[in-house]
């Protein structure tokens, strides 16, 4: 049993809850100052994809650190930013080749919608300003990105401060009793985008933003067959920019560098963050096609920017992370270990009838708790078992990530997303701790 840190603190985050003090982290493990070991089964918040304290990255950062740690973009170019931009462009689908660095996912999304808006003005279509997104979804916490986020508990207090943006349902085929492997299912959900565009007036719609594989919002929702391609067609038909939010999927976690690579679809703009520098430094990027960027630069420039954009230390870390992913074959490992972990999580459905669904791609995996698997009714509001599962796993030294999107606030899913360096023995540990925690809460859920 761990002792929560009860020291008075001047820090605050979302709640008063205090966690043990972190001492060190290496590979898939983290240790608190009492020496207790944790398996990082969610890579933080799906961030530390290559594991902790990777020597290649630390060495690249040390080398950069003694040269320079900051160069303001109006005064200098920096080599790490140039090299990482070139590397990123070389990995991008569809010829996306202009990279704009930021420090995190919200900043990347904010940058994408502001570039899109300026593109519309530059090409003589200033009436386009609406960005359609999905419910549920998560695109960030700054007010622009939050306006696109489909998650009422996080958005409601700020509604009066934001311009309402149209939302369509995310394709949760598993709740609607539809077969996700059928193309008709993908088209059914994608067509909702076209209906909404027509309803809003196509000439007013600027973009559509989508997480290729859902993150915390939907619990690793994989789109049904045909969905991503049909979405692309619809955007093209109406001259709308397609934005892929690859903040969580970018960087190899799904087994491909970009989540959307599974469907061979390229967006007009994409955003990446979390796994990009894998927690070694705050880093994100918005990458766009020339045809979007050039008109904006021609018409006087992109009116947007952040002080820390292209920070050389963060970019040096990012470059080393991407090289590590490639040279160590981590995407193939994510696919292999992800398939095995998914198989084992699915096996839990035989033991616990309150696990309603197991889903995901590569090592972006989730399972959902329900009151009744037949109806997929969510757990009753206020049932403590949900929070208890996370805590019981934590006590057993396993970190998993949870989000209530249906039950308590709306359904209850848990993301199991260990670093892409995991081996079978780590999966054994994850499953042992998880099963013990599930055994303990089973009684409460059934009661």
Return residues touching ligand PLP (CB under 6 A): 45, 104-106, 109, 138-140, 211, 215-216, 245, 247-248, 273
Phi and psi at residue 249, in whole multiples of 5°?
-85, -25
> For residues 253 and 268, what is the distance between their CA atoms, to the nearest angstrom?
22
> For residues 374 and 279, what is the distance between their CA atoms, to the nearest angstrom?
40
Does residue 401 contact residue 389 with C-beta atoms inside 8 Å? no
Phi and psi at residue 86, in whole multiples of 5°?
-65, -40
Nearest to 165 by CA among 200, 119, 198, 189: 200
Q: Euclidean distance between the first and final Cα of the chain, in Å?
A: 25
Q: β-pairing, 29-32 with 98-102?
A: unpaired
H or E segment and range at residue 318: helix 312-327
Q: Which residues pair with 210 in a beta bridge?
A: 244
> For residues 332 and 319, what is the distance between their CA atoms, to the nearest angstrom?
19
> For residues 132 and 121, what is the distance between their CA atoms, to the nearest angstrom?
18
Sequential DSSP letters for 233-260: HHHHHTT-EEEEEETTTTTTTTSSSSGG
Toward ligand PLP, which CB reaches closer, 57 or 248? Answer: 248
| CA distances in angstroms from 266 to 181, 245, 411, listed in the order given | 21, 12, 31
Structure tokens at 171: 């394709």
Structure tokens at 121: 């003005």
H helix runs in 92-134, sequence order: 105-122
CB atoms within 10 A of CB 159: 11
| CA distances in angstroms from 386 to 82, 204, 398, 412, listed in the order given | 45, 42, 15, 7
> For residues 301 and 384, what is the distance between their CA atoms, to the nearest angstrom?
52
- For the bound state, the minimum distance from the C-beta of residue 351 to ligand PLP, rounded and expressed in Å, comes to 30
Burial of 22 (0-12, 13-18, 19+ CB in 10 A): exposed
Chain-centroid distance, C-alpha 344: 23
Q: Tell me the three state secondary structure of residue 230.
A: helix
Q: β-pairing, 241-246 with 377-378?
A: unpaired
DSSP state, residue 415: E
């Amino acid at each position: 049993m761990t002792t929560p840190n009860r020291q008075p603190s001047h820090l605050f985050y979302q709640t008063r809850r205090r966690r043990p003090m972190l001492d060190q982290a290496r590979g898939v493990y983290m240790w608190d100052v009492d020496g207790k070991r944790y398996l990082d089964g969610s890579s933080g918040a799906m961030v530390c994809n290559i594991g902790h304290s990777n020597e290649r990255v630390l060495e690249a950062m040390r080398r950069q650190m003694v040269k320079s740690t900051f160069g303001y973009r109006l005064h200098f170019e920096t080599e790490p930013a140039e090299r990482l931009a070139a590397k990123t462009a070389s990995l991008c689908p569809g010829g996306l080749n202009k990279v704009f660095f930021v420090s995190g996912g919200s900043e990347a999304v904010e940058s994408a919608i502001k570039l899109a808006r300026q593109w519309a003005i530059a090409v003589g279509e200033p009436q386009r300003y609406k960005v359609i997104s999905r419910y549920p979804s998560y695109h960030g916490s700054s007010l622009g990105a939050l306006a696109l986020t489909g998650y009422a508990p996080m958005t409601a207090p700020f509604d009066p401060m934001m311009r309402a943006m149209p939302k369509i349902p995310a394709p949760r085929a598993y709740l609607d009793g539809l077969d996700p492997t059928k193309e008709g299912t993908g088209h059914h959900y994608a067509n909702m985008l076209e209906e909404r565009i027509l309803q809003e007036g196509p000439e007013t719609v600027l973009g559509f933003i989508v997480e290729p594989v859902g993150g915390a919002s939907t619990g690793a929702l994989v789109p049904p067959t045909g969905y991503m391609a049909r979405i692309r067609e619809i955007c093209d038909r109406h001259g709308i920019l397609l934005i892929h939010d690859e903040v969580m999927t970018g960087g190899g976690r799904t087994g491909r560098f970009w989540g959307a690579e599974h469907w061979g679809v390229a967006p007009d703009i994409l955003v990446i963050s979390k796994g990009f520098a894998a927690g070694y430094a705050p880093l994100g990027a918005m990458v766009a096609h020339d045809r979007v960027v050039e008109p904006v630069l021609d018409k006087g420039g992109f009116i947007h920017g952040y002080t820390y954009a292209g920070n050389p230390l963060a970019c040096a870390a990012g470059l080393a992370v991407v090289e590590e992913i490639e040279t160590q074959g981590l995407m193939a490992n994510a696919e292999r270990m992800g398939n095995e972990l998914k198989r084992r999580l699915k096996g839990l459905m035989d033991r616990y009838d309150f696990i309603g669904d197991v889903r995901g791609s590569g090592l972006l995996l989730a399972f959902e708790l329900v009151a009744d698997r037949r109806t997929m009714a969510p757990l009753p509001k206020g049932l403590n078992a949900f929070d208890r599962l996370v805590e019981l796993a934590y006590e057993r030294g396993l970190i998993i990530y949870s989000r209530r999107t249906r039950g308590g606030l709306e359904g209850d899913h848990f993301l199991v997303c260990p670093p892409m360096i995991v081996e079978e023995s780590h999966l054994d540990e994850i499953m042992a701790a998880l099963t013990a925690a599930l055994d303990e809460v089973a009684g409460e859920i059934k009661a």
